[in-house]
Structure 1
Amino acid sequence: MLFQSKNKKSNLGLTLIEVVIAIAIFLMIGVAIYNAYVGMFKMITGARVQLIATALANEQMEIIRNMPYQDVGLQDGVPAGALSRFQTLTRDGVSFSVRLSISDIDNPFDGQIGSTTYPDLAPNDYKLVEAEISCPTCQNLQPFTISTYVAPKNLENNSGNGALFVQVLDANGAPVTLADVNIVLASSTNPVNINERTNQSGFFQLVNTYPANLAYQIIVSKTGYSSERTYASGEAGIANPVKLNATVVAGQVTQLSFGIDRLANLELKTMTKTCTPIASVPITWQGTKLLGTNPNVLKVDQTLSTDAGGKLILNNIEWDTYRFSASLSGYALVGSLPLQSLNIAPASNNDIKIVLAPSTGRGLLVSVRDGASSLPLSDATVSISGPSPSQSLITNQGFWVQSDWSAGAGQTYWSALDKFATTDGNIDYASTTGQLSLVKTGATYVSSGYLESSIFDTGSATTSYIQLAISPSTQASTTGAGSVRLQLASSNDQATTTWNYTGPDGTDQTFYNATSTTINAVVNNNRYLRYKLYLQTADLNVSPTISDISLTYSSECLPFGQVFFDNLNNGTYTVTVSHDAYQDFGTTFNVNDTWQFLEIPLNAL
């Protein structure tokens, strides 16, 4: 009888695990080889496209150099010529976009147009030709520009033309580079339609253009920015435009300035005092910038509506000071967070809450502000007396501001207005009362320093922190980017030794500054708050300075710095306001409408 040994191993095949491992290894090697092939193919293709694009650019320049000088210009452009501004050309199966820019250059060697000491009556000395090559369908080709100068064979002649200079600035008065400038002259004899971009100084200079009276329409824009334009009288219903179409005079320079900046976003919410959303509320919002006068025509004047969730999202809005008002049958506006006017900064994200309540009769909304800072005041007692029974209400929302640190460190909990908690010794708080800067050692400043504030008590664990303000809003450019930075930390335990400081994205990796002022919600629902200020400079001869740090906050959905009196009878009322730290205020007010607004500034004692 034959028996099979139990210890004998079978060599007939592989186990399932071995097969899976082998397949995985094969796939890894295969994917690596494939990725290497694809990467090499892309690199070769990209190099080929770059060579083709460069050859195309040189080809266009050579064609232009060999053209008659009078033909070197753009159709409907200045200088006028035979060339098209935009072309789509195909080389070796690749489609490229070519954008030409041609401008007359007024060389200062022989004088300049508009000069009072050495005028140039023939400012078209030579031409600058720029060709931008791009490939919308190519993945590895970035648009690039080549340029050349083209000069006439003979001396230039007096053309009898003028010049139009367009300057583009942002909200802070800094030049905006690469802004799109569209200039149109609707003329049957000398039509002009130019699309150019500003230079590094924020200028586009149109030299040697045709004289015309109030005829040049100019539109300035840039992707991600607001826009501004000129108007003819009566255009778009504007009888008297603030910025009229430009005039060009022979032998003279006309210069116009335009203001554009990055667009901002706003989220508006309508709700009750208990934070319940109110849907479909008509909202009127108006800016302060004017398109025309007599009568005034506002650039922004719209009536919109909140959605089913009580929200109205306004994206890509221009920097300005806006006013918001809500009108819903059966309801009255009893306050807003922040107050009804909101200063929208460029590239900012903003929130505003409008609080409504059922309305019974006539109502008066009273806003109490600090007379110096215009920030809303908490704990102000507002009293009215008149045809209706006397009433007194207290504003219970407000702000925290510090504008003096001269009494020094050592104050853990906020009480004295001119003290703080700690510093690293590199912050000068005493040399100038009401100002912080870096410490000066000898003739230069230290490079950096920080200061930590006292702990501020808002009095409520349901506090929402809204907006931060840092003054001044700009610093000397030589101090470098990020010369003033700030982080916030909050807690429901004022005795905690761990304060987690965060910035506008809710992490410790970012910092608030003068333009990033909307406070991240990560610090909300905590009673205690403090800030940590960082100063630094790239130029040891100049220090950043701080005069004020303030923030607004609210508790639940009760509007801060505001009280609302409802169900009032017609007539004249006496309104008085008192506050422990401010001078008393009194006035009279005539109630004669369903809803009215009274703003009262208080002066400190």
Structure 2
Amino acid sequence: MNIFIKDKEGFSLVETLVLLTIFMIAGLAFYKSFTVATAYIIESKNRLAATQLANEKMEIIRSLPYDSIGTKKTDGAGGWIMGIPGGNILEFEEVTKNTRTFYVHTLAKYQDDPYDGTALLGTDTRPADFKDVRVQVSWNPDYIETKSAFLVSRFVPPGLEGNSTGGILSVNVQNNQGVPIDDVAVRLTNTNTGIDQTYNTTEGNVTFLEVPEDLNSNYRISISKSGYFSAHTYPVYDVLVPGSFNPIDKDTAITTGTMWTNSITMDEKVELKIQTKDMLGAFVPDVQFSLSGGRELGTENPTSIVKVFSYNQSGLDSGAAGEIIITDPSGLSSGIYNFNPINPVGYEFLKMSSSTNNSNEFYLQPNTDQTESAFFMKTAENSVLVTVLNNADATPLVGATVNIKDAGLTYDLTATTDYSGRAFFVNGSSALNSGDHTILVTASGFSDKSENVNVSGLVKEEIMLDAI
């Protein structure tokens, strides 16, 4: 009896894995498309609801009398802070619609129509010609513009223009090169008049119209922009107020019918790392120092030449690694900084790596990530610091040529004196040899001078040159 067994065909393991891979790729593509489509639908619903809320808000504003079209916000203590113009419209609101929270920001602003002259040109004594109202409804608490709906409407007063009831404040914002900066948030506050209003600059300028009068310079101007070092004005100097100083940017007064102009500079923030090194480039750990500088705020008092800066910190330490990143909650501004160390045992401070006219000073450029090295001379290391001075008045001679040779003539080194008349010598990446050395100094308009020194550790030699 013959028994025949028929082979049964099926999928191999490789074919099964390929099929599963194709299925997974197709499933992931479908899931991604579904996720994107769902997010798009949600975003569209949010935008539609936000637009509807913005329309409702604008219709309410249109029903108000012209004099009531202005903003206010709570001061957190049961009172109100008024905008410019002030009125009955809440500047900030939260509205819940279909379980979704929307954030409403209403900005009202006087506009100066150039048709009848402008306040900036001095050709219009009643510049508050009409009001523009901008309603932003966002489904993001940070009021991101891509997640917001906007409506803008213009409101014209009935009848003829009335007399001015306040003053005019024009604020110009530029960088340190005088270039105007756009889209800077300029905030005007005054606790006495109850004003708190923010506008953004266009072509580096923003103008506040119909600002309530205050003759006592209580209006504070604050400027801010992402990536920039924020700034503000300060009260005028008062000897009776602790911590008072004489500011460059002063709080301003406002008088009815008068235009006041204020210009403030700002620049991009900077990042700073400070390294402490010896003259051969090795890191020197645990150097304690203080650091001050940055934005110049003013002087200690009206008759003082001592400057006040935005950054002033003591008790800093370069740590075990010999380097530290300088941080501050407000960030660091560009400007001149002054480094004042406590010399570690066995070291003497010489200069900062980018110093140009003062050993302790260096300059931070705007919008930079800068590393600055503080160089220290090792007192036990064979080296020579030569200072060249004019014998007539003991002033440093810049650009003098200093040559040094050891007795065995194993090296012949030459350097040029810096802004302080100094030249420092080691032998490349090594210390100098011990023993006798010859120093020759030459300078245009002065007689040459040669001196012998015995090198053992750090030697500091002062050489006086006579004019020819």
- Normalising by the residue count of structure 2, what TM-score does the alignment of the two structures yield? 0.73
Structure 1: where are the runs of 5+ without partners? 369-376, 384-391, 399-559, 566-574, 588-595, 601-605
Q: After superposition, where does 1:307-346 map in structure 2 within 5 Å?
A: 307-314=319-326, 316-330=331-345, 331-339=347-355, 340=359, 341-346=361-366
Decide which of 185, 197, 200 is 1:197's aligned counterpart.
200
1:124, distance to aligned residue in structure 2 (A)? 2.1
Counterpart for residue 381 of structure 1:
402
Q: Which structure 2 residues correspond to residues 83-102 of structure 1 after superposition, within 5 A?
A: 83-102=89-108
Q: Please tell me whether residue 356 in structure 1 is matched to residue 362 in structure 2.
A: no
Q: Which of 20, 23, 45 is the equivalent residue of 1:48?
A: 45
Tell me if the contact between 1:334 and 1:563 (Cα under 8 Å) persists in the aligned partners: no
- Structure with greater Cα Rg: 2
Q: 1:246 to 1:307 in 2, by over 3 A?
A: same
Contact 1:129/1:149 (8 A) holds in 2: yes
Q: Post-superposition shift, 1:264?
A: 1.3
Q: Does 1:149 align with 2:154?
A: yes
CA contact (8 A) 1:382 1:563 kept: no
Instruction: Give the Å deviation of 1:127.
Output: 0.7
How far residue 192 of structure 1 moved from its aligned partner, in angstroms, is 0.8
1:483 corresponding residue in structure 2: none
The verdict on how the C-alpha distance between 1:141 and 1:290 changes in structure 2, with shifts beyond 3 A counting, is: closer
Which string of whole-angstrom CA distances, capped at 9 and with x for unpartnered residues, describes residues 543-563 of structure 1? xxxxxxxxxxxxxxxxx9842
State the AA in 1 paired with 2:334.
W
- Letter of the structure 1 residue corresponding to residue 36 of structure 2: G
**Which amino acid in the other structure matches residue 196 of structure 2?**
N
Candidates 302, 314, 339, aligned match of 2:313: 302
The counterpart of 1:223, out of the listed 223, 226, 237, is 226
For residues 252-291 of structure 1, the aligned pairs below 5 Å read: 252-287=258-293, 289-291=295-297
- Separation in 2, partners of 1:144, 1:178: 19
Q: Which amino acid aligns with 1:578?
A: T
Counterpart-to-counterpart distance in 1, 2:445 and 2:20: 84
Say if 2:68 is the partner of 1:71. Answer: yes
Q: How does 1:444-459 map to 2 (within 5 A)?
A: none
Q: Distance in 2 between matches of 1:99 and 1:176?
A: 24
Partner residue, 2:424: 563
| CA–CA distance in structure 2, aligned partners of residues 74 and 236 of structure 1 | 36
- Is the Cα–Cα contact under 8 Å of residues 278 and 378 in structure 2 kept in the other structure? no
Judge conservation of contact 1:334–1:564 (CA < 8 Å) in 2: no
Report the Cα offset of residue 274 of structure 1. 3.3
Deviations along 1:375-399, one digit per CA (max 9) or x if unpaired, are xx9993189xxxxxxxx9843899x
Q: Establish whether residue 395 from structure 1 lines up as the match of residue 259 from structure 2.
A: no
1:208 counterpart residue number: 210
Name the % identity: 24
Question: Which position in structure 1 is the counterpart of 2:139?
Answer: 135
Contact 1:238 1:291 in 2 (8 A): no
CA contact (8 A) 2:181 2:204 kept: yes
Match of 2:337, SS? strand
Give the C-alpha shift of residue 347 in structure 1: 0.9
Q: Is the 8 A contact 1:169 1:258 kept in 2?
A: yes
Give me the whole-angstrom Cα distance separating, in 2, the residues matched to 1:193 and 1:181: 11
Q: Describe the SS at the equivalent of 1:267.
A: strand
Q: Which protein has greater RCO, CA pairs closer than 8 Å, 6+ apart?
A: 1
User: What is residue 237 of structure 1 aligned with on the other side?
Assistant: 243
Q: Does 1:578 align with 2:439?
A: no
Look up the SS of the partner of 1:317 in the other structure: coil
Render the CA deviation track for 1:399-418: whole Å, top value 9, x for unaligned: xxxxxxxxxxxxxxxxxxxx
**Deviations for 1:265-294, whole angstroms, at most 9, x for unmatched residues?**
121101223333222212333326432323
User: What residue identity is the alignment partner of 2:44?
Assistant: A
8 Å contact from structure 2 (residues 402, 442) kept in 1: yes
Structure 2 partner of 1:26: 23
Structure 2 CA distance for partners of 1:378 and 1:272, relative to 1, 3 Å = farther
Letter in structure 1 aligned against 2:375: V
Q: Does the alignment pair 1:38 with 2:41? A: no
3-state secondary structure, aligned to 1:32: helix
Alpha-carbon shift at residue 171 of structure 1 (Å): 2.5
1:335/1:562 contact within 8 Å kept: no
Q: Determine if contact 1:305/1:312 at 8 Å carries over to the other structure.
A: yes
User: 1:17 & 1:226 partners in 2: Cα distance?
Assistant: 62
Match of 2:179 among 151, 174, 177: 174
Contact kept in structure 1, 2:400 and 2:417, CA below 8 Å: yes
Q: Is the 8 A contact 2:222 2:231 kept in 1?
A: yes
2-structure distance, mates of 1:41, 1:586: 85
Distance 1:382 1:101, change over 3 A: farther
Retained in 2: the 8 A contact 1:336–1:354?
Answer: yes
What SS does structure 2 have at the residue aligned with 1:18?
A: helix
TM-score, normalisation: structure 1: 0.58
Query: Counterpart amino acid of 1:355?
Result: F
How many Å separate the matches in 2 of 1:193 and 1:585?
69
- What is the aligned length? 393
Matched with 2:55 is: 58
Whichever residue aligns with residue 127 of structure 1, its letter is K
* Per-residue Cα deviation, 1:474-524 (whole angstroms, up to 9, x for no partner): xxxxxxxxxxxxxxxxxxxxxxxxxxxxxxxxxxxxxxxxxxxxxxxxxxx
What letter matches 2:168 in structure 1? A
The whole-number CA distance in structure 2 between the counterparts of 1:248 and 1:140 is 34
**325 and 353 in structure 1: CA distance in 2 versus 1, 3 angstrom threshold:** same
1:22 is paired with a residue whose SS is helix
Counterpart CA distance in 1 for 2:309 and 2:176 is 18
Structure 2 unaligned residues grouped into runs of 5+: 73-81, 390-397, 405-411, 427-438, 450-459
Report deviation, 1:323: 3.0
Partners of 1:337 and 1:352 within 8 A in 2:
yes
The within-5 A match list for 1:478-493 is: none
Question: Aligned partners of 1:258, 1:96: CA distance in 2, in Å?
Answer: 35
Amino acid aligned to 2:352 = S
Aligned-pair CA distance for 1:20 = 1.4
For residue 543 of structure 1, what is the aligned residue in structure 2?
Answer: none
Report if aligned partners of 2:271, 2:332 keep a CA contact under 8 Å in 1: yes
Q: 3-state DSSP class of the match of 1:31?
A: helix
